[in-house]
Structure 1
Amino acid sequence: MSKKKKALSIDSRRGVKTLEEAHAWLAERGIEDIECVVPDLAGVARGKMMPTEKFFSGPTMTMPSSIFAQTISGDYPPDDDRFQHNPTDGDLFFRPDYSTLTAVPWETDPTAQLIHDAYTRDGIPIETAPRNVLKRVLQLYSEEGWEPVIAPEIEFYLVKPNTDPDYPLEPPKGRSGRPEVGRQSYSISALNEFDDLIDDIYDLSEAQGLEIDTLIHEEGAAQMEINLRHGHPLELADQVFLFKRTIREAALRHDMYATFMAKPMSNQPGSSMHIHQSVLDKETRDNIFSTPDGDASAKFLSFIAGHQAYLPSVTSIMAPYVNSYRRFSRNTTAPVNIFWGYDNRTVGLRVPNSKPAARRLENRVPSSDANPYLAIAASLACGYLGMTRNLTPDEPKTGYSSDVMHALPRGLLEAVALFGECEELIEVFGEKFVNTYRAVKQEEFETFMAVISPWEREYLLLNV
């Protein structure tokens, strides 16, 4: 199959423009049920499943307003003066984005999925809905005549099924019947251990019109990385959201778990979601990070400087859980600073080698457990603030820097406090979102503190 034909085939599997086109798309495929899904603050798919007939004949989908104030454990933060949860838990209204319509290929009956956006009864976008948060940041770029382009890279682990959280995770057995014991970065043989699973990931992805650029074996035991093609930030966030569901489903078919935890195993590297970013002029379609002569532009340097200035304050979005901060370890492949450098993977902000038209910044701070909508919005917000304020970065690092911890917060509470105190980011994200996010993360921390860890039993039980 030629690349052109394959692209057309993939396009036909994903997305339409209107309700009428959706009706035809579903009828052509004999779709019986539709999953109406909404990404919540954690990136979890919330929503309703309904028969196709009900979708077209029923009223607008509604769900309680609390879905955007729920912690990862299913709890809710208490109200205070800054976080005012709707006391009646009244309904929000959800409209389908028909460009996201695609199949659910792992379901037995013909099923489709459709991502929805959240609004008030009066049609005002809900500030705390992650998709709306990203749209808000993209609107800021549009008002400046800019169009950001991103390409995410998502790492994840395959692990042996584990139904008891008190036991550590272990790598699964591959086709050889043996689990990986060493680190196998970029190993084709280690990748081939999971050929059947990888084939399923590709098949399920193609059935949804999702394009994988590359899939590689990463440094950890049974750790993989998927790279997606560059494109519009909202479309790529949708793809990451759908890929996570797809990879988990594919792994379950092979009696494995796929986990996007930032640090699932203590003796293995963490998992990241690197975000490559460039910005186009909306009219000329030129990359504003390069001058006509091909040099780095002042806007590019300000984009970098914005990340250096504001990354610490959005770390709670890019590293959203207590576990996320275990990934930030010195002398590993994870970033521990907000230095920048050319083709330097030991700093948090890397400028890859490229032609001028493809000049971009790779943000290496986000972990794979981050909500893709929020992580992309936060990263672009940093760059936006840098460019609109004409900030200047420090000098690029040319040497090894993974041993220097600098500026990034070391824990969730510190990170959340920085986010809630940054007035520039409050202006970008909106006070309602910042306060809700802060309250949810503080409640999650309290839930974590209620659990006694093995480390405490090991070292404190008989020693203190």
Structure 2
Amino acid sequence: MQKPDILDELKNSLESRVKLAVTDIDGVLRGKIIHKQKLLDILEKDMGFCDVIFGWDVQDELYDKFSVTGWNTGFPDARATVDANTFRKIPWEGSIPFFLADFSVSDHPACPRSLLKKVQQQVDKADYQVKMATEFEWFNFSESPQNLVDKAFHHLDPVTPGMFGYSILRQSQNSDYFNALFSGLSSFGVPLEGIHTETGPGVYEACIQHTDVLEAADRAVLFKTGVKEIALKNGLLASFMARWNNQLPGCSGHIHQSLWQNGSNVFFDKDKPGAISSVMESYIAGQLVCLPEILPMYAPTINSYKRLVEGAWAPVNTTWGIENRTTALRVINASEGAMRLETRVPGADINPYLAVAAALASGLYGVTKKLKLDQPATQGNAYKDTESIRLPADLTTATAKMKKSAIAEELFGAEFVAHFVMTREWECRQFQKQVTDWELKRYFEII
């Protein structure tokens, strides 16, 4: 819909409420319900939104080292704008209108959506169009938020038992929820290409239909929140933790991408081995070079690195391959139209704006610098590839590397890198303070 049509629909609607949201550094939607007249007013200009959302963590604890906001600034309202193109109606909430906003108008260095828009501008300047899509795995439980607390997050009940990937039976056993996800998300403007059970108790995987860069990231953010809300409506609880149980596989958040010009896929060259064009080679080379430098944008939590271990269906090194699901980067070359790169490092716990920005900016870095792909494609098990660079094994190490990275600053600017690194250092310090169940079991009696 065009903006005038959206304005007319809102003005003529009997619904007086509108839901509005922005995204914090962890990819969590933060928002409010406002009167539609307020929305109509701010659609024509901008609005203030308290920038405390960039001054606290996922649990609303304030960071102790302030940069872009804090007690020292008084947590003011930062200027933000509503993106009319994000207009949707939430079908599971009585079709209440919904919009996303961001802080591009004030060039706020901590706004993830604004950062992605800057990367998109670089792509536009290079005269490429991008097709992009994300896919997510997540676990579903017969629990509620209160049950999690009451059980201290132990002995949780997945919605189905056992390891049963691609199961038609498991879909049928939870058909109301399964169908509500597909139809509800589609009506919400997050169309799915497919959804199926993965291997593991209560785990699903969904692929979101491809689109342009910003819309793909918007869909990913709204997908995660939408799934959680639809699950709760069905008496279930959905989790996008990278890995919730050390006996089970982790949950991915893979990113698919391709570059186009004049309606042609520039990743495809029928005369090259594997049909991989020189542009795609440089794009792959850029991602491989940048990957260890910006890993926290793909793996942002302490838990992310519990997934990035050998044999857990996630990469551990800077590898690429053709149709190889053990590598960090997987080339899918079935046809010219489908030719694309799948970045397999991200987990389901990503902030989609930051992960998409990381993938696109690092790929473009390789293209603009015409980097050569000297590293051969990995054949077979990439976990055994000893020639590639091992990824940092924990958030502390990955963050320290990004903090010193000239590449990270070149891609995203010093202000963003400083703020983002500070938030990841905070995350590491919060974890370091904790005494875990593993430590109690290992040391309490014996040591």
- Answer whether TM exceeds 0.5 for this pair: yes
Match for residue 399 of structure 1 among 369, 380, 404: 380
- Amino acid of the structure 1 residue aligned with 2:97: A
TM-score of the superposed pair, with normalisation by structure 1: 0.89
Instruction: Confirm or deny: 8 A CA contact 1:336 1:404 kept in the other structure.
Output: no
> Match of 2:303, SS?
helix
Instruction: Count residues in correspondence.
Output: 435
Is 2:156 the partner of 1:163? no
Is 2:166 the partner of 1:186? yes
Cα drift, residue 319 of structure 1: 0.8
Cα drift, residue 168 of structure 1: 2.7
- Amino acid of the structure 2 residue aligned with 1:350: R
For 2:186 and 2:50, the matched residues in 1 are separated by: 34
- Equivalent residue number for residue 431 of structure 1: 414
Cα drift, residue 279 of structure 1: 0.5
> Match of 1:97, SS?
strand
Instruction: Confirm or deny: 8 A CA contact 2:24 2:112 kept in the other structure.
Output: yes
Instruction: Confirm or deny: 8 A CA contact 1:331 1:403 kept in the other structure.
Output: no
Cα drift, residue 309 of structure 1: 0.8
Change (3 A) 1:403 1:434: same
Cα drift, residue 56 of structure 1: 2.5
| 1:290-324 CA distance string (max 9 Å, x none) | 23747321111111111111111121011110011
Is 2:362 the partner of 1:379? no
Match for residue 51 of structure 1 among 27, 31, 35: 35
Instruction: Confirm or deny: 8 A CA contact 2:251 2:348 kept in the other structure.
Output: yes
| 1:224-251 CA distance string (max 9 Å, x none) | 1110111101001111111111111111
Is 2:441 the partner of 1:463? no
Cα drift, residue 22 of structure 1: 2.0
- Equivalent residue number for residue 367 of structure 1: 347
TM-score of the superposed pair, with normalisation by structure 2: 0.92
- Equivalent residue number for residue 129 of structure 2: 147
Match for residue 235 of structure 1 among 208, 215, 219: 215
Is 2:280 the partner of 1:300? yes
Which has the larger displacement, 439-448 or 454-463? 439-448
- Equivalent residue number for residue 41 of structure 1: 25
> Match of 1:273, SS?
coil
For 2:326 and 2:403, the matched residues in 1 are separated by: 29
| 1:429-462 CA distance string (max 9 Å, x none) | 1111111111111112222222211000000112
Cα drift, residue 269 of structure 1: 0.6
Is 2:246 the partner of 1:291? no
> Match of 1:358, SS?
coil
| 1:159-183 CA distance string (max 9 Å, x none) | 231423633353434xxxxx31x21
For 2:209 and 2:187, the matched residues in 1 are separated by: 17
> Match of 2:254, SS?
strand
- Equivalent residue number for residue 10 of structure 1: none
- Equivalent residue number for residue 196 of structure 1: 176
> Match of 1:322, SS?
coil
Is 2:55 the partner of 1:69? yes
When the two chains are superposed, the root-mean-square deviation of aligned CA atoms in Å is: 2.0
For 1:313 and 1:234, the matched residues in 2 are separated by: 23
Instruction: Confirm or deny: 8 A CA contact 1:83 1:439 kept in the other structure.
Output: no
Match for residue 131 of structure 1 among 113, 128, 132: 113
> Match of 1:163, SS?
helix
Identity of aligned residues (%): 29
> Match of 1:98, SS?
strand
For 1:156 and 1:94, the matched residues in 2 are separated by: 31
> Match of 2:10, SS?
helix
- Equivalent residue number for residue 10 of structure 2: 26
Instruction: Confirm or deny: 8 A CA contact 2:52 2:69 kept in the other structure.
Output: no
- Equivalent residue number for residue 74 of structure 2: 88
- Equivalent residue number for residue 11 of structure 1: none
Trace 1:311-322 onto structure 2 (pairs within 5 A): 311-322=291-302
Cα drift, residue 143 of structure 1: 1.3
- Amino acid of the structure 1 residue aligned with 2:115: V
Instruction: Confirm or deny: 8 A CA contact 2:22 2:31 kept in the other structure.
Output: yes
Change (3 A) 1:200 1:357: closer
For 1:87 and 1:315, the matched residues in 2 are separated by: 30
- Equivalent residue number for residue 214 of structure 1: 194
Is 2:398 the partner of 1:415? yes
- Gaps in structure 2 of 5+ consecutive residues: none
For 1:21 and 1:396, the matched residues in 2 are separated by: 50
> Match of 1:96, SS?
strand
Cα drift, residue 64 of structure 1: 2.0
For 1:130 and 1:88, the matched residues in 2 are separated by: 22
Trace 1:334-373 onto structure 2 (pairs within 5 A): 334-373=314-353
Change (3 A) 1:87 1:169: farther
Is 2:158 the partner of 1:172? yes
Cα drift, residue 403 of structure 1: 4.6
Change (3 A) 1:138 1:169: farther
Change (3 A) 1:221 1:353: farther
